[in-house]
Amino acid sequence: MTLQGKSVAVLIAPRGTEEPEFSKPKQAIEEAGGKVTVVSFETGVARTVNSDLDEGGSYTIDKTFAEVKADDFDGLVVPGGTVGADKLRGSGEAIGFIRAFFDQKKPVAAICHAPWTLIEADVLKGRSLTSYPTLKVDIENAGGTWVNDEVVVDNGLVTSRDPNDLPAFCAKLIEEVAAGVSAGLAAGK
């Protein structure tokens, strides 16, 4: 499956985003021929983390939230990491950017603690998804249905539980971005 001509935003929160949940989807998109734009709060270089505590890699931030809009992209990836997801959900700019993908019915992929941002964006009512298990009650309180599967796809929304699920997560992410706007999303579900 190819993403030739497709552009995907991948979010990063400096010293908070989980390394494999950022790097593996980014790599999968690029290997499928897609263009990745790394988006964060400010330009420069951001470090990821491993297991929330250990330093990960360093990545160049391509654009800030102020410089981008959902119109510019065919899909969005929100990596996890407890601290990273918390930083993102605390930013009005980040939440507005995420919500715009849902408003435009574009594919969104969120893994591990990243569904916290979807809760904050108020986009989970009536949706089925998965996450790191400790988010189950948060998701249910936000109107979503939590499912304990390695990957869940609900009308363009791709979710997984943790780094162990990355192969399935990346495969479904590529499928959804390649397919484009979901018929289910377009119908207004």
Average pLDDT over residues 153-169: 97
The residue annotated as part of the active site, out of 6, 87, 105, 113, is 113
Q: Cα–Cα distance between 55 and 153 in angstroms, integer? A: 31
Please tell me the predicted confidence (pLDDT) of residue 1.
Answer: 76
The residue annotated as part of the active site, out of 12, 112, 114, 152, is 112
Please tell me the predicted confidence (pLDDT) of residue 96.
Answer: 98
Mean pLDDT of the chain: 94
Strands 7-11 and 152-154: unpaired
Count CB-CB contacts under 10 A for residue 44. 11
Question: Using 50, 70 and 90 to split pLDDT, how confident is the model at 146?
Answer: very high
The answer, yes or no, to whether residue 171 has pLDDT greater than 50, is yes
Known active-site residue 112: yes
Q: What are the C-alpha distances in Å from 79 to residues 107, 128, 153? A: 14, 18, 16
Please tell me the predicted confidence (pLDDT) of residue 180.
Answer: 86
Please tell me the predicted confidence (pLDDT) of residue 181.
Answer: 63
Known active-site residue 106: no
